[in-house]
Chains A and B, each alone.
Chain A
């Protein structure tokens, strides 16, 4: 159960873990946070020039936080571009993941939203601050252990 990219990474001695394929047959890889920036640069040089989406989720209560990247290789004259999905897991205590803003610029707002909702700190992000919630908000709303404050208008506004 090893995809082409995984084999290529193994050939070049890059540490990763294969997580199989998703329902569309797209290869999924897990990469450690400390390796992620260098591997992102390598993948960009390899040809993945398009960050299709970046998202984050909370794996389990008390568990890890995950940051997910979908990369696509866009070239002329190709109707089935190569795609890959990268998952980076970070511990809940100190979730730090290197930002890939300097590799794929479109990660800017996506990483800010992931920071806002799940509290993942993206190192070297140029302006990491809340994007959806008010800046004085306390807590990370999409974490599984988040308790919503008992604000009046949120549940009573009509």
Chain B
């Protein structure tokens, strides 16, 4: 009985879906916790998993706090709710360098668990257009966390995800102009989608020598 009622609540929750607020709301409405989708309230920050080899960098976060707190890794993740009977679609914001899904995605197997809609997964630069270090990755991740906290309480819609994704794209552009990341010259597509490379784009400290 307990199992059936909790799974029902989970389904309802994923349909309603709120960034941040949803977890609390469900807790208030019924007394029980949301089983697998729930993480303990206090969680020490873990390292962001960065996989250089695949060029696929992922982070799972919980929508609370300021520094990035990735969701702990799960085992035996199955692709769920991907079928046509669930709408055949998923909540996402997909631009070239930032893909945000309201689901848990396994880093290795890429299993896409759409029942866990209280988590947001970001896939950073899947086409490997930029050269990333773990430091710059973490900057983007913490900015992502900050944005998710900022949008807490907003309805979990494509529009909200798109606002977040666009802000991250602008942030990546800022990183590029500040010289913190640079174009990957070995990328498959080399079309410099954020502007042609140049020297000292945003550097106001150094004056050009030939101007007198």
* B contact residues around A137 at 8 Å (CB): 159
Q: Are A156 and B157 in contact (CB under 8 A)?
A: no
Q: Is B166's CB within 8 Å of the partner chain A?
A: yes
User: Known: A152-B95, A153-B95, A156-B193. Contact between A136 and B158, CB under 8 A?
Assistant: yes
Tell me which of B96, B162, B169, B194 has the highest count of chain A C-beta atoms within 10 A of its own C-beta.
B162
Q: Are A150 and B159 in contact (CB under 8 A)?
A: no
Q: Are B157 and A136 in contact (CB under 8 A)?
A: yes
CB distance from B89 to the nearest CB of A (A): 11
CB distance from A153 to the nearest CB of B (A): 5
Interface residues in B, total, Cβ within 8 A: 17
Q: Is A134's CB within 8 Å of the partner chain B?
A: yes
* A contact residues around B107 at 8 Å (CB): none
Q: Write out, one digit per residue, whether chain A residues 117-158 have a CB within 8 A of any chain B CB (1) or not (0).
A: 000000000000000001011100000000001111100101
Residue of B nearest to A133 (CB): B159
Residue of B nearest to A139 (CB): B159
* A contact residues around B170 at 8 Å (CB): 150, 152
* B contact residues around A158 at 8 Å (CB): 193
CB distance from A33 to the nearest CB of B (A): 30
Q: Are A149 and B95 in contact (CB under 8 A)?
A: no
Q: Write out, one digit per residue, whether chain B residues 180-212 have a CB within 8 A of any chain A CB (1) or not (0).
A: 000000000000011000000000000000000
* B contact residues around A136 at 8 Å (CB): 155, 157-160
Q: Is B70's CB within 8 Å of the partner chain A?
A: no
A142 to B123, CA, bound (A): 34
Q: Write out, one digit per residue, whether chain B residues 109-126 have a CB within 8 A of any chain A CB (1) or not (0).
A: 000000000000000000
Interface residues of B in 156-174 (CB under 8 A from A): 157-160, 162-163, 165-167, 169-170
* A contact residues around B162 at 8 Å (CB): 149, 151
Q: Are A152 and B159 in contact (CB under 8 A)?
A: no
User: Known: A150-B170, A152-B95. Contact between A134 and B193, CB under 8 A?
Assistant: no
Q: Are A152 and B169 in contact (CB under 8 A)?
A: yes
CB distance from A117 to the nearest CB of B (A): 16
A150 to B166, CA, bound (A): 7
Residue of A nearest to B94 (CB): A153
* B contact residues around A152 at 8 Å (CB): 95, 98, 165-166, 169-170
* B contact residues around A138 at 8 Å (CB): 159
* A contact residues around B167 at 8 Å (CB): 150
* B contact residues around A150 at 8 Å (CB): 166-167, 170
Residue of A nearest to B158 (CB): A136
Residue of B nearest to A149 (CB): B163
CB distance from B80 to the nearest CB of A (A): 23
Closest 8 CB pairs of A and B: A136-B157, A152-B169, A152-B166, A136-B159, A151-B166, A136-B158, A153-B95, A152-B95
> Which residues on B are within 8 Å of A, measured CB to CB?
95-96, 98, 155, 157-160, 162-163, 165-167, 169-170, 193-194
> Which residues on A are within 8 Å of B, measured CB to CB?
134, 136-138, 149-153, 156, 158
Please name 21 pairs of A and B residues whose Cβ atoms are closer than 8 Å in the assembled complex, sorted by A. Answer: A134-B159, A136-B157, A136-B158, A136-B159, A136-B160, A137-B159, A138-B159, A149-B162, A149-B166, A150-B166, A150-B170, A151-B162, A151-B166, A152-B95, A152-B98, A152-B166, A152-B169, A153-B166, A156-B169, A156-B194, A158-B193
